[in-house]
Amino acid sequence: MTDELHAGLDWSGLAIMDAETCYERLRHSPIGRLGFVDRGEPVILPVNFAVDARSMVFRTGHGSKLSVAIMRQPVCLEVDAWDLLAHTGWSVLVKGVAEEVVDQASIDRFDALPVRPWSSPDRRSHWIRIGVEEISGRQILT
């Protein structure tokens, strides 16, 4: 493993991925789990997303994800991959604030991204951006 991939090891021996490696993993992973608080309760929901510069973007319809974005609440996005046979894998965690995107230039740009909701795409007309405030990642070394 090269120094470019990780900046060291954490307390459990997992490789700490640098920010660029984290973004690269996110660019190749179209599905993640969005975490937030809704009416005082923790919620984790799957989302199809894309990386836009240093932000994560996804489409949604009416509901809790849109409400969190309208109120500009903190959220997290977790994305991972693993190989069960080789016992390898990695995980990236993004923390930031969600916001609804309303300017047409950004919406037009996002519409060209490969974000394809699997469920009811015609009902997911609102774009949400997560402004990344913190990004971290770990990888199991073999």
Domains of the chain, earliest start first: 6-139 (2.30.110.10)
Q: pLDDT tens digits, residue range 19-64?
A: 999 999 999 999 999 999 999 999 999 999 999 999 999 999 889 9
Decide if 99 contacts 68 (C-beta within 8 A): no
Question: Ramachandran region of residue 8, left (φ > 0), alpha (ψ -120 to 50) or beta?
Answer: left
Classify strands 74-83 and 55-60 as parallel, antiparallel or unpaired.
unpaired
CA dihedral sign, ordered 91, 95, 73, 62: negative
Q: pLDDT tens digits, residue range 114-129?
A: 888 777 667 788 999 9
Q: What's the pLDDT score for residue 111?
A: 92
* Helix spans in 1-142 (H): 19-27, 64-70, 104-111
In this prediction, what percent of the chain has a pLDDT beyond 90?
75
Cα 43 to its chain centre, rounded Å, is 15
User: Whole-prediction pTM value?
Assistant: 0.88
Q: What is the mean pLDDT of the chain?
A: 90
Asked if pLDDT for residue 4 goes beyond 90, the answer is no
Q: What's the pLDDT score for residue 122?
A: 74
